[in-house]
């Protein structure tokens, strides 16, 4: 990342023998406004104020955050709860320590000309779905609708979708997976009018699951020093998120300044940040247990093929946020 500590800040932290506590954060995806709170906390000195030196590692299509965490490549990661709980059931001893995102940005975006006007019209259609852990909310939704995902005429055909909107533009699928803050706008920017689209937000359909939580190895929470470091990290990160909510355009520009690839644009990041602010609104960082239970119920409700097979035990902890927010 371009910004870690300024020379003055580094000197201040090392003065008198003190040294910064190093933290490595693994993101779920590439540098973009989806993670603005962390870049803001870094840029505005909120991590420095807590005595932290934070390295932010972008994700990507070939990076599995949970594997990075398990391999010791990060202290904390950003992940969606469905994939985190699925990984936990498979033996990854990870735990949610904070939940900056209150709402889900996931939805299906459909071409109106495909004849889809409601979920009842999905039957017999081809639907684009992200995998790599992102398919779990979709599979749960189809199960609730009683629609097999085996390609039969009584169900839906699942098209394994890349992280682009090509299947919709090329009319290979009636609907594709999009986020309110990203791919939906890629469809619009490609020249398709909003009037020619029909969208179904997972939140509106009652199948939303928690996204973009912070996770650590459960064993590390037995170390008081680690708990203290994570408390500082979460407190500074949430300060960054609330700053980003209040200053979305400025937050977007901070993200751009940290985009080493040069792939992001000002207009797209400002629009994304405006949408992201809607998802973090209402969260102080503490995991809401009702939201957690809703997510678990959704993942257990997969019919013959549930995402998780049993109620998770110890999958979240309030130990960090209880200290960070008081």
**Could you report the per-residue pLDDT of 284-304, keeping only the tens digit for each?**
999 999 999 999 988 887 666
> E strands, the chain, where?
21-26, 52-57, 76-79, 94-98, 106-111, 126-129, 157-160, 175-179, 197-201, 213-217
Nearest-angstrom CA–CA distance, 12 and 15? 5
Please give the CATH superfamily to which domain 7-103+210-324 belongs. Answer: Periplasmic binding protein-like II (3.40.190.10)
Phi, then psi, of 186 in degrees rounded to 5: -65, -35
pLDDT band at 267 (very low <50, low <70, confident <90, very high): very high
Most confident of 11-15, 138-142, 278-282: 278-282
Count CB-CB contacts under 10 A for residue 87. Answer: 21
**Could you report the per-residue pLDDT of 75-125, keeping only the tens digit for each?**
999 999 999 999 999 999 999 999 999 999 999 999 999 999 999 999 999
For the chain, the structural domain boundaries read 7-103+210-324, 106-201
pLDDT of residue 163: 84
pTM: 0.89
Nearest-angstrom CA–CA distance, 189 and 272? 13
The verdict on domain 106-201 having CATH code 3.50.50.60 is no
Nearest-angstrom CA–CA distance, 181 and 261? 20
Q: Strand pairing of 213-217 and 94-98? A: antiparallel
pLDDT of residue 16: 40
78: helix, coil or strand?
A: strand
Structure tokens at 226: 């680690």
User: Percent of the chain, pLDDT > 70?
Assistant: 93
Same fold, 7-103+210-324 and 106-201: yes
For residues 10 and 38, which has the higher predicted lDDT (pLDDT)?
38
Q: Is 205 exposed, middle or buried (0-12, 13-18, 19+ CB in 10 A)?
A: middle
């Amino acid at each position: 990342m371009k910004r870690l500590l300024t020379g003055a800040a580094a000197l201040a932290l090392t003065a008198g023998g003190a040294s910064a506590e190093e933290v490595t954060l693994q993101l779920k995806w590439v540098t973009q406004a989806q993670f603005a709170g962390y870049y803001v906390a870094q840029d505005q000195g909120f991590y420095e104020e807590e005595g932290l030196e934070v390295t932010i590692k972008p994700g990507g299509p070939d990076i599995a955050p949970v594997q990075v965490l398990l391999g010791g490549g990060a202290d904390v990661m950003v992940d969606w709860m469905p994939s985190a709980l699925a990984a936990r059931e498979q033996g990854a001893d990870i735990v949610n320590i904070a939940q900056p995102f209150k709402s889900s940005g996931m939805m299906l975006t459909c071409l109106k000309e495909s004849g889809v006007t409601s979920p009842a019209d999905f039957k017999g259609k081809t639907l684009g779905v992200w995998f790599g852990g992102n398919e779990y909310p979709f599979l749960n939704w189809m199960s609730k609708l009683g629609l097999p995902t085996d390609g039969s005429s009584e169900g839906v055909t699942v098209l394994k979708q890349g992280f682009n909107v090509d299947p919709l533009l090329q009319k290979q699928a009636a609907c594709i997976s999009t986020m309110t803050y990203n791919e939906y706008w890629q469809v619009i920017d490609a020249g398709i009018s909003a009037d020619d689209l029909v969208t179904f937000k997972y939140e509106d359909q009652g199948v939303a699951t928690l996204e973009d939580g912070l996770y650590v190895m459960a064993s590390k929470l037995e170390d008081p020093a680690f708990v203290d470091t994570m408390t500082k990290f979460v407190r500074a990160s949430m300060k960054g998120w609330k700053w980003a909510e209040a200053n979305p355009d400025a937050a977007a520009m901070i993200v751009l300044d940290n985009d080493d690839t040069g792939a992001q644009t000002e207009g797209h990041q400002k629009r994304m940040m405006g949408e992201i602010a809607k998802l973090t609104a209402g969260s102080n960082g503490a995991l809401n247990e009702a939201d957690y239970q809703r997510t678990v119920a959704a993942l257990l409700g997969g019919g013959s093929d549930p995402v998780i097979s049993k109620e998770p035990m110890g999958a979240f902890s309030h130990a960090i946020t209880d200290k960070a927010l008081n």
